[in-house]
Structure 1
Amino acid sequence: MTRTGVVFRPQSPPEDLRAVVEAVDASGVDELWLWEDCFLEGGLTAAAAALAWSSRVHVAVGLLPVPLRNPAIAAMEIATLARMFPGRFVVALGHGVQDWMGQVGARVDSPVTLLREHTAAVAALLRGETVTVSGRYVHLDAVALDWPPAEPPRLLVGARGPRTVALAGEVADGVLLDSVTDPDVVRRARSVVGPDAEVAVYTQVGPDDGRDVRAWVAELADAGADTVVLQGTDDHPDPRPLLARM
């Protein structure tokens, strides 16, 4: 069965998060997704609070820009939340917006290479492996987590272009597709990552678009989506009105 979710967009102030978490936790929606956009709210800090304030809903961060974190630090943070809230945490890693990465001095010449190296290292660390790697961007010397999760959380790669979608199928549990408006985008991604990988989809829903949300979710599911996540618009970021439409 396809999972459903909504996004708490960081255009809302962080002090609004708790009320949203409680509303989603009391609903029938499966997942609450959080962004980490520069320079708004931290994804992992928001996820920790959301997990603590809820009892049922899965909390996901989509996505964490990999240029901003050493993979060992990323794995430590993810493992901590996965152990404290087993089975309820999901993470997507991604390039980040390149202009923002440039603003903080973290832009690289090959974002795909960085994403490949970073994701592979984080995944291995979360599996409890000792990792030694000397890549173009990632350098780890016999690094292992003292507290790896008993069951690693779902680890996705955020992707738009075909190269990154293919990378998601190679080094992660699946792919997170952004701003999907056409089911064919889902079909193409599914054909690339294969039948066993996770395909999660962000799709925007406005308050006045007249769309039958349940029918749209079903259409995306038929195209191959495992998780359909609804997000509000820039002018209406609060996801709570979407709960009644799902």
Structure 2
Amino acid sequence: MHPSPGTARPRTTLGAVALPSLPPERLRAVARAADAAGLEELWLWEDCFLSGGVSTASALLASTDRLAVGIGVMPVPLRNVALAAMEVATLERMFPGRLRVGVGHGVQDWMGQVGARVDSPLTLLREHVTALRSLLAGSEVTTDGRYVRLRQVRLDWPPERPPLVGVGTGGPRSLRLSGEVADATILTGGTTPAQVARARELIDEGRAAAGRQDPHPITVYLMAATGPGATERLEREQRAWGHEPGPEGGAAGSAEEIAAAVGRWADAGADTVVLQPLTGEPDPEGFVRFVAEEVRPLTP
């Protein structure tokens, strides 16, 4: 739920992305800088064929004291759901409350490269998320789906408080599915405020169809650039990603200008805004410090 005009808005969570283009050996330094600066969340991408999401998250959680680490997202065709549940449960028990979990149907070309492409990605996503949430809740699961088949599977070490399972997506059918079966939704960089608002509507349609009343937070990645030539650099990045260049799909400028942009995405329905540095960012440690120390104090 989001407040009516004139009422206090819940505090927006602010995070940053550690891009997978960084060599794995650089990531612990970025996480330590984020932790020392007071950043709330640092998000990782499990893009093919770069760093593994679970192994990287484990290393970063172990290298920091309070930082939350998000995996956004793990492609479900790459993992048996029982293994995914074991890995998530292990991390949550080791680092309670500091793991953010996202799953998705994967980039289909990549899934084809590794022989994991399925005929119905949405069916797999539905079956996987449903089973994953049940396993993390400590339930015994038996299911004979199209893709997910389990017989009397129960985790020996389920987490005391299961983390929210978010779905990374953007299409209308996937957004409705996320509202129906997941706990949260993750929206990619380039998503405009209007698209966030529309995503919230579609998610709520799925929640209503499933009779769900629990909150469903939305996390959105927001491309951000600061320093000399920030606007021009952001627009080049947007074009490289195939997005329409301009302020509706990213934030550029000073800490004040970026914080104001975060507010626009939050007003549209985002509960967490994760600032995404540009590809080739020369100082990722400096970027996370900028987000935590300069943008965070100005954010609603």
Query: Smaller-chain TM-score range?
Result: over 0.9
CA drift of 1:28 comes to: 3.0
Cα displacement string for residues 158-194 of structure 1 (whole angstroms, at most 9, x for unaligned residues): 0110111111111111100001341011111112223
Which 10-residue stretch deviates more, 208-217 or 51-60? 208-217
Partner residue of 1:206 out of 225, 242, 258: 225
**Matches of residues 160-239 of structure 1 in structure 2 within 5 Å?**
160-194=170-204, 196-207=215-226, 208-209=230-231, 210-211=252-253, 212-236=257-281, 239=284
RMSD in angstroms over aligned alpha carbons? 1.4
Q: Where is the helix percentage greater, Structure 1 or Structure 2?
A: 2
State the structure with more CA Rg: 2
**Matches of residues 88-99 of structure 1 in structure 2 within 5 Å?**
88-99=98-109
Q: Which amino acid aligns with 1:199?
A: I
**Aligned partner of residue 26 in structure 1, secondary structure:** helix
Distance in 2 of aligned mates of 1:174 and 1:32: 17
Q: Which residue of 2 aligns with 1:55?
A: 65
Alignment of 1:126 onto 2:136: yes
Q: Say if 2:14 and 2:40, in contact at 8 Å, map to a contact too.
A: yes
Q: Say if 1:3 and 1:228, in contact at 8 Å, map to a contact too.
A: yes
Q: Say if 2:41 and 2:70, in contact at 8 Å, map to a contact too.
A: yes
Identity %: 54
Cα displacement string for residues 192-232 of structure 1 (whole angstroms, at most 9, x for unaligned residues): 22382110001111341233210111111111111000111
Q: Which amino acid aligns with 1:98?
A: Q
Alignment of 1:44 onto 2:54: yes
CA drift of 1:53 comes to: 0.6
Q: Which amino acid aligns with 1:79?
A: A
Cα displacement string for residues 99-127 of structure 1 (whole angstroms, at most 9, x for unaligned residues): 01000000000000000101111010000
How many residues are paired up?
Answer: 246
Q: Say if 1:32 and 1:60, in contact at 8 Å, map to a contact too.
A: yes
**Aligned partner of residue 27 in structure 2, secondary structure:** helix
- Per the alignment, do residues 237 and 186 of structure 1 end up closer, same or farther by CA in structure 2, a change over 3 Å counting? farther
Which runs of 5 or more residues in structure 1 are unaligned?
none
CA drift of 1:96 comes to: 1.1
Partner residue of 1:87 out of 97, 102, 106: 97
Distance in 2 of aligned mates of 1:233 and 1:109: 34
Partner residue of 1:240 out of 271, 285, 296: 285
Which 10-residue stretch deviates more, 5-14 or 229-238? 229-238
Q: Say if 1:231 and 1:239, in contact at 8 Å, map to a contact too.
A: no
**Aligned partner of residue 189 in structure 1, secondary structure:** helix
Which 10-residue stretch deviates more, 21-30 or 88-97? 21-30
Q: Which residue of 1 aligns with 2:241?
A: none
Cα displacement string for residues 43-70 of structure 1 (whole angstroms, at most 9, x for unaligned residues): 0000000100111111110000000000
Distance in 2 of aligned mates of 1:126 and 1:104: 27
Which 10-residue stretch deviates more, 82-91 or 206-215? 206-215
Q: Which residue of 2 aligns with 1:78?
A: 88
Which runs of 5 or more residues in structure 2 are unaligned?
1-10, 205-213, 232-251, 296-300
Q: Which amino acid aligns with 1:227?
A: T
**Aligned partner of residue 197 in structure 2, secondary structure:** helix
Q: Which amino acid aligns with 1:163?
A: R
Partner residue of 1:149 out of 131, 152, 159: 159
- Per the alignment, do residues 13 and 42 of structure 1 end up closer, same or farther by CA in structure 2, a change over 3 Å counting? same
Q: Say if 1:232 and 1:238, in contact at 8 Å, map to a contact too.
A: no
Distance in 2 of aligned mates of 1:164 and 1:92: 14
Q: Say if 2:29 and 2:285, in contact at 8 Å, map to a contact too.
A: no
Distance in 1 of aligned mates of 2:141 and 2:196: 33
